[in-house]
Amino acid sequence: MLTHEQVEDYRREGFLFLPSCYSADEIELIRERILAAQQMPGEQVVHEKDAKTVRSLYGLHATDSLFDTLSRHVKLAQSAQELLDGPVYVYQSKLNFKAAFDGDVWDWHQDYIYWRREDGMPSSHVLTAALFLDDITEFNGPLTVVPRSHQKGVLGCDVNDGKPEGYEQQPTWIGNLTAHLRYTVERKIVSEMAQAHGLAAPKGPAGSVLFFDGNLLHASQANISPFPRRVLLYTYNRVDNAPAREALHRPGFLASRDASPLKISVADLR
Ligand code: SIN
Ligand code: MN
């Protein structure tokens, strides 16, 4: 599927952007399933600090057949396999809503440190594929990355222990999922990295896909625009990088227990 240049690009820059990977019809089909998906069990639905705006839905691939098929779909799963150079499984899936007006920030962070510290994932042979479910512009909080930052491995971070304000009644792991993130990269390091490599915010129509390395430094601003910015994120982990079962304490919708290689699907999404 991917060309040699695309794989090289990804390895050097830490991300690969494929505009208009999925058609408007396919995206419409996915959007139609969101309402039903929102009915799922409580803890998998995370709200913004206002306690009413939905921020994220977790574990969709395990609760809905379309999101399962999509997680195994050739354009996402085979690309992930090629980029990670080995068979993969879905470690985590989530739909980030970044609601119009009220969708809050994701502060500067790397993903892998969460999976290492919380789940004991051995190495950063892991990536996330972000499928745009809305057109993403400079106005609705695009995912913003520091190119090449993954090359430095795990960066120094500030640890925000405890539960964020407004989430006191929730399990401890909620600190990984809110606008007040548990592990944020030190601002001094963010500044140095951005000065060295600049910033990139891939923008494009719904149906575009952004693959990014588990160690790529990234963030997104609040969405004060009147347009939603929904993104479906599948995290693919290399099968030989699965954490030991006994190290996993978080719920399965945050850290999958099933590390068997994905069976790639070439099926029509309909
Ligand atoms: C993430 O960092 O996992 C998602 C960020 C975003 O949705 O903007
Ligand atoms: Mn992230």
pLDDT digit string, tens, across residues 185-194: 999 999 999 9
How far does the centroid of ligand 1 lie from the alpha carbon of residue 152, in Å?
Answer: 20
Instruction: Provide the pLDDT for residue 269.
Output: 87
Q: Is 0.95 topped by the overall pTM?
A: yes
Asked if the model's pLDDT at residue 38 lies above 90, the reply is no
What's the rounded mean pLDDT across residues 146-163? 96
- Is residue 40 over pLDDT 90? no
- Ligand 2 is an ion; its neighbours by CB within 5 Å are 111
Supply 175's token pair: 């600190």
194: three-class secondary structure by DSSP:
helix
233 CA distance to ligand 2 middle (Å)? 10
Q: Is 63 in the pocket of ligand 1 (CB under 6 A)?
A: no
Q: What CA–CA distance (Å, rounded) separates 223 from 103? A: 5
Q: Contact at 8 Å (CB) between 14 and 216? A: yes
223 C-beta closer than 6 A to ligand 1: no
Beta partners for residue 213, in sequence order: 127
List, for residues 93-114, the tens digit of each pLDDT value.
Answer: 999 999 999 999 999 999 999 9
Q: What percent of the chain has pLDDT over 90?
A: 94
Instruction: Quote the ligand 1 centre to 143 CA distance (angstroms).
Output: 6
The number of the ligand nearest the C-alpha atom of 46 reads: 1
Which residue is closest in CA terms to ligand 1's atom 3?
111
Domains and CATH numbers, the chain: 4-153+197-245 (2.60.120.620)
Residues 6 or more apart from 235 whose CB is under 8 A from it? 90, 91, 92, 93, 111, 126, 127, 128, 214
Q: Ligand 1: does its nearest atom lie under 6 Å from the Cβ of 129?
A: no
Q: Sign of torsion, CA 77 110 206 104?
A: positive
List alpha helices for the chain, DSSP H.
4-13, 24-37, 60-63, 65-72, 79-84, 112-119, 187-197
95: burial class by Cβ within 10 Å (0-12, 13-18, 19+)? buried
Q: Which of 64, 26, 62, 60 is nearest to 233 (CA)?
A: 60
Mean pLDDT of the residues in the chain: 96
- 188 CA distance to ligand 1 centroid (A)? 21
- pLDDT score for 42: 87
What pLDDT is attached to residue 131?
98
Ligand 2 centroid to Cα of residue 110, in Å, is: 6
Q: Can you tell me the distance from the alpha carbon of 218 to that of 171, in angstroms, rounded to the nearest whole number?
A: 25
**Three-state secondary structure call for residue 98:** coil
